């Protein structure tokens, strides 16, 4: 099966699809190593980690996003979904955006109905485009994909701006335009999730805000409970970036303490060994390929 076929099977399965948010080679290879069947890029995580700036200023371009996703998709065997923000323009732009992401090897993308530059779904200050314009973007995206299994997720941020009823109206319009999955961001309760499941004729994706804490508008709901409610996918966009920042902060604090005390401190409980890093990025595969393809005298010279 292709990655797109596997991704479509995952969202059509009765079991909920769990999609951690990844942003670099380490995070996506860890997701695969830990047994996750899929992952999705976090748009904020990519912008924050690559540029050191907020995604809210909208300076990471579509092509930068595509190239980052190309490298991530190529690094693993599991299917990767990508965050394509608002599609970077009007419906014509979205057509070319879909072509670019599909060529990069991802299994599908999110596009959302915010104006550009967009905001994090759990932040104030969001502005929406006309629902009819978003529907046209979805139509263009569906027409653009060359592989019918390439998945289009339509995200709506309307709950915070227009209220639940209008958000459901938008979701129904987006499903009618051809969206494979609806992603209502910043849902506020289990009852709101149930209404989307009951009233929108498309698969539902819900975002759990692990790592958002006080800003999170969606309550943290156990994954088996989301599955029982009929949710097809749960994404965890901030979890891995938040964990990485916490780990790096601990390591830097340890180095400050070591510098002040004059005592060298090694903390295997905080720092993985080089062997684990090399195994994660496939160093053993490189060694196996050298044994297969290099001449005996090359190996002798290289490793003495």
pLDDT in tens, 35-93: 999 999 999 999 999 988 888 788 899 999 999 999 999 999 999 999 999 999 999 99
Cα of first residue to Cα of last residue in the chain, in angstroms, is 43
Does the structure show a pLDDT above 60 at 186? yes
The domain total for the chain is 2
In the listed set 216, 237, 258, which residue is the last one of a domain according to the structure?
A: 237
Same domain, 115 and 200: yes
Cα separation, 260 vs 237, whole angstroms: 36
SS3 259: helix
Sign of CA dihedral 127, 130, 134, 137: negative
In a domain? residue 183: yes
In a domain? residue 264: no
- More confident: 259 or 77: 77
In a domain? residue 100: yes
Cα separation, 271 vs 8, whole angstroms: 37
In a domain? residue 258: no
Query: Tell me, what CATH number does 59's domain have?
Result: 3.20.20.60
In a domain? residue 216: yes
Expressed as residue numbers, the domain containing 48 is 3-237
The 10s digit of each residue's pLDDT in 197-208 is 999 999 999 999
The reply to whether omega before 117 is within 30° of 0 (cis) is yes
pTM to 2 decimals? 0.92
CB contact set of 148 (below 8 Å; sequence gap of 6+) = none
H/E segment holding residue 39: strand 39-41
**Which among 5, 119, 20 has a CA at the least distance from the CA of 72?**
20
pLDDT band at 258 (very low <50, low <70, confident <90, very high): confident
User: Which DSSP state fits 78?
Assistant: S
Same domain, 201 and 280: no
pLDDT band at 212 (very low <50, low <70, confident <90, very high): low
Same domain, 221 and 280: no
Sign of CA dihedral 22, 232, 122, 135: positive
pLDDT at 209: 80
Same domain, 284 and 209: no
In the listed set 237, 255, 285, which residue is the last one of a domain according to the structure?
A: 237
In a domain? residue 261: no
pLDDT at 184: 97
Same domain, 69 and 181: yes
In a domain? residue 256: no
pLDDT at 215: 61
In the listed set 213, 237, 261, which residue is the last one of a domain according to the structure?
A: 237
Same domain, 225 and 283: no
Cα separation, 277 vs 283, whole angstroms: 9
User: Which DSSP state fits 65?
Assistant: H
Same domain, 95 and 18: yes
Structure tokens at 106: 């991802």
Ranges 161-175, 199-213, 229-243: which has the least confidence: 199-213
Does the structure show a pLDDT above 80 at 217? no
Whole-number mean pLDDT of the chain? Answer: 92
Same domain, 205 and 303: no
pLDDT band at 218 (very low <50, low <70, confident <90, very high): confident
pLDDT at 294: 95
In a domain? residue 226: yes
The 10s digit of each residue's pLDDT in 112-151 is 999 887 766 566 668 899 999 999 999 999 999 999 999 9
């Amino acid at each position: 099966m292709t990655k797109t076929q596997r991704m479509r099977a995952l969202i059509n399965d009765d079991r909920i699809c769990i999609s951690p948010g990844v942003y670099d080679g380490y995070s996506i290879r860890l997701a695969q190593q830990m047994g996750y069947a899929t992952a999705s890029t976090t748009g904020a995580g990519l912008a924050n980690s690559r540029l050191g700036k907020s995604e809210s200023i909208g300076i990471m371009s579509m092509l930068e996003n595509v190239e980052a996703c190309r490298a991530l998709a190529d690094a693993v065997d599991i299917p990767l979904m990508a965050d394509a923000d608002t599609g970077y323009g009007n419906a014509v732009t979205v057509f070319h955006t879909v072509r670019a992401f599909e060529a990069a090897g991802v299994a599908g993308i999110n596009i959302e109905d915010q104006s550009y530059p967009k905001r994090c779904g759990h932040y104030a200050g969001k502005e929406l485009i006309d629902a009819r314009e978003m529907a046209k973007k979805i139509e263009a995206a569906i027409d653009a994909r060359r592989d019918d299994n390439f998945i289009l997720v339509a995200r709506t941020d309307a709950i915070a701006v227009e209220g639940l009823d209008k958000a459901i109206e938008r979701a129904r319009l987006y499903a009618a335009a051809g969206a494979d999955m609806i992603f209502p961001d910043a849902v506020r309760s289990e009852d709101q999730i149930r209404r989307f499941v009951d009233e929108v004729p498309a698969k539902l994706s819900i975002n759990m805000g692990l790592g958002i804490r006080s800003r999170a508008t969606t309550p943290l709901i156990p994954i088996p409970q989301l599955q029982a409610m009929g949710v097809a996918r749960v994404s965890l966009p901030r979890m891995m970036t938040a964990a990485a920042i916490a780990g790096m902060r601990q390591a830097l604090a340890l180095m400050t303490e070591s510098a002040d005390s004059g005592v060298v401190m090694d903390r295997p409980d905080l720092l993985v060994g080089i062997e684990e890093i090399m195994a994660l990025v496939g160093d053993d595969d490189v060694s196996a390929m050298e044994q297969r393809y290099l001449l005996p005298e090359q190996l002798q010279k290289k490793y003495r």
